[in-house]
Amino acid sequence: MGQNNTARDLGLLALRTAVGGALAYHGAQKLFGVFGGHGLDATGQGFESMGFAPGKPNAAIAGAGELAGAALALGAATPLAAAGGVGAMIVAAEVHRPQGFAAQGGGNEYPITLGVAAAALALTGPGKYSVDHLLGDRLNKPWLAALALGGAAAGAGVTIARRNAALAQAAAVSQEIEDEAAEGDFLLGDYDPETGENDGADKLIK
């Protein structure tokens, strides 16, 4: 029995290290521009172009959620650390969903795998070789795992809904511009169809 427990704990340690390390790697890319990343400003611009407005705060939240993977790797506050990665990966999976599942085609295989693995660690706990175990599992409780994962899913759902609304609005305005142009009308101003923002000075000239 003790040998089986040791094997289980070593398996959890290996899984935590791989999943948490991968998440932290991507979070550091977004927030600090290390490991070949673009940093927060450029990442924020990329988020803006994908419909996450305002881009920089959304990028910071996503990066922080992923960077919590460092705590997951250590097995520290495991449910909370895992939930940060789960929330970020739910949103990332939705972004990649139009490309299908396969990673080689730009699909959501990778974020789904990381997100499910992080959720599993929140539910199973980090095992014996962890900071949580050393601290008596004060921040590793079943109720905390349920609360953290529920909050991550809810937050991701709100973020996805806001993005979908922004993209739908941008698409509607772009279609209106195309329709007006087809009728011989022209739109002046600085409307940006990617962000759905303008300065209020746009007007149609017949």
Which own/partner pairs from 155-164 qualify as long-range (CB within 8 Å, at least 24 positions apart)?
A: 155/87, 156/86, 156/87, 156/88, 156/90, 156/91, 156/94, 157/90, 159/52, 159/58, 159/91, 160/90, 160/91, 160/94, 162/52, 163/50, 163/51, 163/52, 163/94, 164/51
Q: At what angle do helices 109-124 and 2-32 cross, to 10 degrees?
A: 130
Q: Dump pLDDT digits (tens) for 105-149.
A: 999 999 999 999 999 999 999 999 999 999 999 999 999 999 999
**Which residues make beta-bridge pairs with 188?**
203
In angstroms, rounded to a whole number, what is the distance separating the alpha carbons of residues 180 and 206? 9
Q: Is residue 206 scored above 50 in pLDDT?
A: no
Q: Dump pLDDT digits (tens) for 24-81.
A: 999 999 999 999 999 999 999 999 999 999 999 999 999 999 999 999 999 999 999 9
Q: CB-based burial of residue 7 (10 Å sphere; 0-12 exposed, 13-18 middle, 19+ buried)?
A: exposed
Task: Record the pTM.
Answer: 0.86
In angstroms, rounded to a whole number, what is the distance separating the alpha carbons of residues 9 and 70? 18
